[in-house]
Amino acid sequence: MLRFVLKRILIALPTLLIVSILVFGLQKLLPGDPVLALAGEERDPETLARLRELYRLNDPIWMQYLHWLGDVLKGDLGMSLRTNQPVLVLIAEKLPVTLQLATMSMIFAMVIGIPAGILAATRKNSWIDWICNVVALSGLSIPNFWLGIMLILLVSVNLGWLPASGYESFFVDPVRSLQTMLMPSFVLGTALAATLMRHTRSAMLGVLSSDYIRTARAKGLPGRVVVLGHAFRNAVLPVITLSALLFGELIGGAVLTEQIFTIPGFGKLTVDAVFNRDYAVVQGIVLCIAAGFLVMNLIADILYAVFNPRLRTEL
């Protein structure tokens, strides 16, 4: 297993290198000059020249990239052009917020989507299957921002059950933190639950028609043992891959939901950095998201071995 993990890490390193080249190169194509935005109204030539020299913007692009990559390898993602804070500090402040939101959203998605997919597959072409498919299509069709606004109006404004917006750290006030995260997590989780439900149903239908499932039923095994112990154990592999990718997507793609519920996470940090031409922050965020996807894929590969003994012997 250790050899397998090390091999996957070695494969991931060139991927991160390619991502860093693309991010650094494509960002230079964006319109606008960060130095002009940083200098403010007093844009005298001497100040602009000093800022360009300070941030090495006069060097060739390839040299700028090598300087930046060398600093990254040392654990230095650079300084924010707007706040003059280390990018690593900004990411360390915002990442736990988005990780909490992503984790709670995935819990909602898996608790709703996977059981619904199993139920729909075992009751194929029944009214239960029909209801599950309708709910899944509704979850995929309803925009997150609209559902978030409707929940705020119903749950917060009319019923007063949960706070409409804001965020409290889990380590400061766990109860308040969970209250502020419930609605945005549900909004994100319902869309993911619909996707998980459809994939779980498809995977289960393929496994339930297998010969070994018919053999297990012919032996008189209870239906729950056949479905959960035999069918789902094999159908769960593509669901694991999808869940890992969806979790990585949540880390980098919860921008609208964070804006609606005023959550100071990765989404707000990304939007502010893009609008302010804060290149170092954008580069650090994208690298962090790419690393997150690679880590989740590694976890998915390890879980394959847990659920499939045949893969365990090959590792």
In this prediction, residue 264 carries a pLDDT of 83
Cβ atoms 261, 186 nearer than 8 A: no
Cβ atoms 292, 17 nearer than 8 A: no
Task: Give the CATH class of 95-314.
Answer: mainly alpha
Beta carbons within 8 Å of 106's beta carbon, 6+ residues apart: 189, 192, 243, 246, 247, 250
Give the three-class secondary structure for 233: helix
- Angstrom distance (rounded) from CA 109 to CA 92: 26
Task: List pLDDT tens digits, range 232-247.
Answer: 877 777 888 888 888 8
Question: And the tokens for 46?
Answer: 């001497």
Listed in order, the ranges of the chain carrying CATH 1.10.3720.10 are 95-314
Cβ atoms 117, 196 nearer than 8 A: yes
- Angstrom distance (rounded) from CA 226 to CA 212: 10
**pLDDT surpassing 80 at residue 203:** yes
Cβ atoms 257, 267 nearer than 8 A: yes
Cβ atoms 122, 225 nearer than 8 A: no
Task: List pLDDT tens digits, range 21-72.
Answer: 888 877 777 666 666 666 666 666 776 777 777 767 777 778 888 887 888 8
In this prediction, residue 140 carries a pLDDT of 77
In this prediction, residue 189 carries a pLDDT of 87
| pTM attached to this predicted model | 0.79
Task: List pLDDT tens digits, range 295-312.
Answer: 888 887 777 777 666 665
**Residue for token digits 């209801």?**
131
In this prediction, residue 34 carries a pLDDT of 65
In this prediction, residue 120 carries a pLDDT of 87
For residue 37, give the amino acid letter: A
Half-sphere exposure of 37 (CA within 13 A, CB side): 15
Question: How many other CB atoms sit within 10 Å of the CB of residue 14?
Answer: 9
- Counting every residue written for the chain, the total comes to 315
- Angstrom distance (rounded) from CA 286 to CA 183: 26
For residue 251, give the amino acid letter: I
Q: Which of 108-117, 244-253, 265-274 ranks highest by mean pLDDT?
A: 108-117
Alpha helix segments (H runs only) across the chain = 2-27, 34-39, 45-54, 61-73, 87-122, 127-141, 144-151, 174-208, 211-218, 223-224, 232-253, 255-260, 266-275, 279-307, 309-314
